[in-house]
Structure 1
Amino acid sequence: MAKVAAWLMVFLFFWEHYSSVVCLSEFTRDDFPADFVFGAGTSAFQYEGAWAEDGKSPSIWDTFTHEGWVGGRTADMASDGYHKYKGDIKLMSDTGLEAYRLSISWPRLLPNGRGAVNPKGLMYYNNVIDELIKHGIQPHVTLHHLDVPQVLQDEYGGWLSPKIIDDFKELADVCFKEFGDRVSYWTTMNEPNINSLASFDYGFFPPRRCSHPYGANCSGGNSAVEPYITVHNYILAHSAAAELYRKKYQTIQKGQIGINIYTIWFTPLTNSTEDAMATKRALDFILGWILNPILFGEYPDSMKKNAGSRLPFFSYLESQRVKGSCDFIGINYYFALYVADDPVIDKIGPRDSSSDMFAKFTAYKNVPPVSRILPPTALINDFESLWKLLNYLKKTYRNPPIFVHENGYGFGVIDTMNDVGRTYFLSGFIRSVLDSIRNGVDVRGYFIWTFVDAFELLSGYSTRFGLYHVNFEGSGHERTPKFSAYWYHNFLKNGTSIKIENNGKQWESARSE
C-alpha cells in the first residue's frame, strides 16, 4: 500500500503542476471492453543486449552497427534486458501492464539460422515467458523483428532468397513447440513493408542494398525489384508459418497468429482528383502491399499496373495459402502525411518501388512535398488520423481483429523525465482507439513503444521512447520511471481518467466523415 500511495502522490503532484494541458474529453480504462489489453513492447535486438553471450551469433543488425552506420553506436548492451528482465517484468506488473510485446532473437535461439537449438537462448525465453505469466501479463510474441542471422545473409542473401521461407518456418516450429503452451498471441514478423523499403530500396537499414538514384553508400542492390522480391518472400514465409501453426498447434494450444505492418495515414494535399488518386495509390503501396495478399490473396491492382513485371506474382496454390493466413493484424502507428500527385516522376529514370506510387509526401501543408516516405522531424498530434486509419481498415479489409502493436513518442524529441508531452500524445491516440471501437472497429489491444528506453534503429540512444528512463551511461543501466510511467499506472491500476484537450470539434469531425 505504501508503494501505491507513493506512486499516487507523485502522480498528483505532476498532474497539479501540468493540469493546464488537459480539459474536455474524458475516459477511463473501464470504457474499453473487458477483454481489451493495454501493454507496452520492446524488440530483442533493441532491448536485450548480450549480443555475443551464451551462444548467440551475430545478426545483420549487429554487423551493421559494428560497422559504424548508426553513428558508432551499437546495441551490444542495449537496455541490458537479457540480464534485467526479472526486474523489468516486476516494473511491468507495478505499472499495471496487462500484456507485453516481445520478439525472439533468431540468432540467439538458432545461432546457425536452422538446426541445433541454443539451450541458453531457449532457457532465456522460457524464463521470460514464465516470469510474465507469473505476474499475470499476457506475452505477445513476434517471431522476427528485423534481426536476420548473419549466417543466413552470408549464405544466400537473407530475405532476397526464397530459401529463407523454410528456415523461417523452422524457427516458427521451434517457438510454437517450446513456448506455445503459454503464448496465445503470435506475430510472424514486424513491418515487412517498411523494412523492405529501408533495407532494399533506400539502403539505410542492413543489408544496405539500393541503386542510384534512390539510395547511397549501398553494398549493391536494385531498388526497382528487390523490395518487391523481399516482401514476396516475407509473405510466403508468413503464410508457411501460419499454415504450420494451424495444422499442428492451434487446435491444441488455442492461440492466434497474425502479422504486423507499419502504417501511415495519408490525406490528399489538395482537393484535386489527382491528389485523391495519389493518396489511394499510397495506401495500396504501403498497407495493401501486405494486407491485400494476406486477406484477399493478391496484390492491389494499382501495384500490378504500376510495377508490372517487376512485381512477383502468386501461383494459384500460393494465393490460396496466403489468403486468410492471419487471425489478426498488428499495426505500428506514429504519424500521418499529406500526399500530392507526382506525374513527372518517370523523368528521373527507372522507377523504384516508392516512385511507382507517382506520389510525393509532406508532413505539413506549407512544406513542399518530397518523393520519399520518411518520418517527419516532429510528430504531428493529429489524433483523428489513427481513427481514420482504423476505420479505413475496417471498411477496406472487412473489419479484421486489430492490435495497435506500437504507438509512441520520441522522434526528434529532447526527452525529459517530466515527459508530459508524451502523455498528451499517447492520450490522444488512445482516445482515437476508443472512438474507433465505439464505431465498430474490432481493435483488441494497444501497446506503447517502448516500455523502457531502448536502442532506436535510426538514432541509437539519442532518442528515447520509453516509459522508463534507462541510464545507458551507468554500468547498472538503472531504470527510473518518467512522468508517463506514473500516468499509465494510474490509468491502468487506479482507474484515473484521461482528459484530452481539443477544440471541441476534433472528434465530431472525424466521426462525420
Structure 2
Amino acid sequence: MVMRGLRMSSYCFFFLTNFFLLLLNISAGVSALSRLDFPPDFVFGAGVSAYQHEGAAAEDGRKPSIWDTFVHQGKTFDKGTGDIAADQYHKYKEDVKLMHKMGLEAFRFSISWSRLIPDGHGAVNPKGLNYYNNLINELISYGIEPHVTLSHFDYPQALQDEYKGFENRKFIEDFTAYADVCFKEYGDRVKTWITFNEPNIVGYGFTGCSSPFGVNCSVGAPVPEPYKATHNIILSHVAAVHLYRTKYQEKQKGQIGITLLTFWFEPVTNSVLDIAATEKEIAFSIDWFMEAIVYGRYPAIMRQRLGSTLPHFTENETNMLTGSFDFIGLNHYQIVKVDQHSATPSEHEGGSIPKLVEYIKEKYKNPTVFIHENGYSTEGDDDPSSPASYIDTKRIECLHKNIQSMLPTIRNGTNLKGYFVWSFLDGLEVFGGYGKHFGLYGVDFNDRNRRRYPRLSTYWYTSFLAKNGRKTETSSLLFAQ
C-alpha cells in the first residue's frame, strides 16, 4: 500500500509539472524555439565522462587512474569518489533508451584508459574493450552518434608512478599507443574523436599559473611544472592527430579535435589596465592552446611574461602542430569579469556563446566548432522525493537562452556545428562533488540501484528536439521510470 501510494503521488506530481511547463512555455515563449530552427547538419546531444559517471572502478580488470588516487585522498568538495558514481557501467542500456526517448542525436562520453589498458601501456583488457564496444553498438542501434573523448581528466595511476605522467615526454608515446587501440577497435563506428578534455586547466592539477581564473604570475617566479605538463599534452594531441590522419582517417571517414574550457572574459571598465588584464586572461586561457594548434606557437604575451618557463616547440613540432585539428570543442559556462587586480566568474550568465565563437572565428580562421559542454548546476535538491529535485526552471531558462543565442552567429557565417548539454546524468562534479547537479536526469545516489528520474528540463529538451517541432507525448518519457 505504501509503494502504491508513492507511485500515485509520483503520477500526480508529474501531471503538475507538465501543467507547470505549459504555463512556462506560454509565459516565457520557450516553445517558440525548436530543432527546426537549426541547420540539418547541426547536432544536438548531451554528455558524461568515464570517471564521473561510470562507476565499477575496481571491476572487470580496471585499475586506478590518477582521479581514483586524488578523490580517495579526500580532495573533492564532499569527499565523494567515483567508485560507483551513476553506475553507468552497469546501466548503459537503460541510459541509451532514455537518450533515445529524449531524442538525442549524439552522446559525448569518454573512454577510461585505466579500463582499456590498465597499466597505461602493454596488454589490452578484454572486458574493458568489450564494454566500450557494447556501449558504442547500443548507441548506433538507436541512431545516436558517439562523440568520444580519449582523456577526460584521467589516465592510469601506473604512469604517474612510473614517470610522473604528463611531466614526462614518455607520456606522448603511451598516449599515442592508447589512441591507436581506440582508433583501430572503435573507429569504424566512432566518427568524432576528442583527444583531451579541458587540457588548458588540467595540465597540472590547477596549480601554479594555470588556474581557471586569474592568471597571476606577478608574485614570485612562475611555476614551471604546469607548462611542462601542458606542453607534453599538446604534443600528445598532435601525435594522436598525426596517427589518425595518416593511418585511419581516409578509411574511417571521421574527424578529430580537442576540447577546451573557454570562459568568456570581459573587462569591468574600459580602462587601459582592465582591457590589458582581460587580454592577458584570454591569452592564458584560450589562446594558449588555440595559437599552438592553429599557428604552431604560444601567444606572445605568454612568452613575454613567462620567459624560459614556457617550453619551445622545435621546427618539426611547429610544422606538425599547425592546423592539427578538424574541429575545436568549447566547454562554456560563464562570463568572467576582469579588472587589473582580479578575475571573477559570473553566475551562469547565458547568451555569451556568440561572443566566444565570433572571437574564435575572427582570430583562428573560422574553424569548425562544437559546444561540447554547456549547462546549469543546481544544489540543495538531493532528495528525489522533493519537488525541488524535478522543477529546474532555471536550467531550462539557461539552456533556452544559450541555444537561442547560437542562431544569429550561425547565420553570421561561423562554423558552429553542434551543442551538447552537460550533463545527461548527475555525476561526481569536479567543482562540487555530488552536491552540484548538472543532469537533465537526476540520479538518486542514496539508492543502491542509482535510480534515474527526469527533471523538467528533460521534457523541455525532448520537446525542443522533436523533429516535427511539436511537443512530444510526455507519458512514455516520464511515467516509464
The residue that corresponds to 1:407 in the other structure is: 374
- Shift in Å at residue 26 of structure 1? 3.7
Q: Give secondary structure in 2 for the equivalent of 1:18.
A: helix
In structure 1, give the amino acid aligned to 2:405: S
Moved more, 61-70 or 191-200: 191-200
Say yes or no: does 1:242 pair with 2:241. Answer: yes
Q: Give secondary structure in 2 for the equivalent of 1:469.
A: strand
The residue that corresponds to 1:353 in the other structure is: none
Pair 1:339–1:203, CA change in 2 (3 A): closer
The residue that corresponds to 2:339 in the other structure is: 340
The residue that corresponds to 2:441 in the other structure is: 468
Say yes or no: does 1:64 pair with 2:70. Answer: yes
In structure 1, give the amino acid aligned to 2:180: D
In structure 1, give the amino acid aligned to 2:138: E
Q: Give secondary structure in 1 for the equivalent of 2:149.
A: strand
Tell me how far apart the structure 1 counterparts of residues 244 and 361 of structure 2 sit (CA, whole Å).
26
- Shift in Å at residue 13 of structure 1? 1.4
Tell me how far apart the structure 1 counterparts of residues 445 and 33 of structure 2 sit (CA, whole Å).
36
The residue that corresponds to 1:98 in the other structure is: 105
Pair 1:115–1:10, CA change in 2 (3 A): farther
Q: Deviations over 1:146-180 (max 9, x none)?
A: 11210000111111111100000011000000000
In structure 1, give the amino acid aligned to 2:362: K
Tell me how far apart the structure 2 counterparts of residues 286 and 204 of structure 1 sit (CA, whole Å).
9
Moved more, 269-278 or 228-237: 269-278
- Shift in Å at residue 339 of structure 1? 1.2
In structure 2, give the amino acid aligned to 1:389: L
Say yes or no: does 1:397 pair with 2:364. Answer: yes
Pair 1:78–1:223, CA change in 2 (3 A): farther
The residue that corresponds to 2:258 in the other structure is: 259
- Shift in Å at residue 271 of structure 1? 1.0
1:37/1:98 contact within 8 Å kept: yes
2:426/2:440 contact within 8 Å kept: yes
Q: 1:381 aligns with which of 349, 352, 368?
A: 349
- Shift in Å at residue 285 of structure 1? 1.0
In structure 2, give the amino acid aligned to 1:445: G
2:262/2:330 contact within 8 Å kept: yes
Map 1:356-367 → 2, pairs under 5 A:
360-363=342-345
- Shift in Å at residue 248 of structure 1? 0.2
Tell me how far apart the structure 2 counterparts of residues 413 and 302 of structure 1 sit (CA, whole Å).
42
Pair 1:474–1:412, CA change in 2 (3 A): closer
Tell me how far apart the structure 2 counterparts of residues 257 and 397 of structure 1 sit (CA, whole Å).
17
Pair 1:393–1:413, CA change in 2 (3 A): farther
Q: Give secondary structure in 2 for the equivalent of 1:289.
A: helix
Tell me how far apart the structure 1 counterparts of residues 394 and 18 of structure 2 sit (CA, whole Å).
17
The residue that corresponds to 2:327 in the other structure is: 328
Query: Aligned-residue CA RMSD in angstroms?
Result: 2.4
Q: Deviations over 1:426-470 (max 9, x none)?
A: 111111122211111111110000101111122221111001111
The residue that corresponds to 1:47 in the other structure is: 53
Say yes or no: does 1:32 pair with 2:38. Answer: yes
- Shift in Å at residue 10 of structure 1? 7.1
2:426/2:438 contact within 8 Å kept: yes
Q: Deviations over 1:210-235 (max 9, x none)?
A: x9989xxxxxxx96111111111110
Pair 1:19–1:191, CA change in 2 (3 A): same
Q: 1:426 aligns with which of 393, 399, 423?
A: 399
The residue that corresponds to 2:143 in the other structure is: 136
Say yes or no: does 1:272 pair with 2:271. Answer: yes
Tell me how far apart the structure 2 counterparts of residues 443 and 106 of structure 1 sit (CA, whole Å).
29
In structure 1, give the amino acid aligned to 2:413: G
Tell me how far apart the structure 1 counterparts of residues 205 and 400 of structure 2 sit (CA, whole Å).
30
Map 1:219-234 → 2, pairs under 5 A:
224-234=223-233
Q: Deviations over 1:18-72 (max 9, x none)?
A: 3476149943211101011100000000010000000000011111111111233
The residue that corresponds to 1:458 in the other structure is: 431
- Shift in Å at residue 201 of structure 1? 2.5
Tell me how far apart the structure 1 counterparts of residues 304 and 222 of structure 2 sit (CA, whole Å).
18
The residue that corresponds to 1:288 in the other structure is: 287
Say yes or no: does 1:165 pair with 2:172. Answer: yes
Q: Give secondary structure in 2 for the equivalent of 1:249.
A: helix
Q: 1:174 aligns with which of 152, 168, 181?
A: 181
Q: Which runs of 5+ in 1 are unaligned?
A: 1-5, 206-210, 215-221, 343-359, 364-375, 499-513
Tell me how far apart the structure 2 counterparts of residues 389 and 195 of structure 1 sit (CA, whole Å).
21
Tell me how far apart the structure 1 counterparts of residues 171 and 210 of structure 2 sit (CA, whole Å).
20
Sequence identity percentage: 48
Moved more, 92-101 or 428-437: 428-437
In structure 2, give the amino acid aligned to 1:236: L
Q: Which runs of 5+ in 2 are unaligned?
A: 1-11, 382-387, 472-481
In structure 2, give the amino acid aligned to 1:67: Q
- Shift in Å at residue 114 of structure 1? 0.7
The residue that corresponds to 2:422 in the other structure is: 449
Q: Give secondary structure in 2 for the equivalent of 1:418.
A: coil
Tell me how far apart the structure 2 counterparts of residues 204 and 266 of structure 1 sit (CA, whole Å).
14
1:8/1:490 contact within 8 Å kept: no
Pair 1:212–1:56, CA change in 2 (3 A): farther
- Shift in Å at residue 416 of structure 1? 2.4
The residue that corresponds to 2:3 in the other structure is: none
Tell me how far apart the structure 1 counterparts of residues 469 and 222 of structure 2 sit (CA, whole Å).
49
Equivalent residue pairs, number: 449
Moved more, 86-95 or 299-308: 299-308
Tell me how far apart the structure 1 counterparts of residues 105 and 255 of structure 2 sit (CA, whole Å).
17
In structure 1, give the amino acid aligned to 2:51: F
Pair 1:468–1:34, CA change in 2 (3 A): same
1:7/1:486 contact within 8 Å kept: no
The residue that corresponds to 2:83 in the other structure is: 76
In structure 2, give the amino acid aligned to 1:390: V
Tell me how far apart the structure 1 counterparts of residues 335 and 147 of structure 2 sit (CA, whole Å).
26
- TM-score, structure 2 as length reference: 0.89
Q: Deviations over 1:183-230 (max 9, x none)?
A: 00000010000112644338999xxxxx9989xxxxxxx961111111
1:265/1:337 contact within 8 Å kept: yes
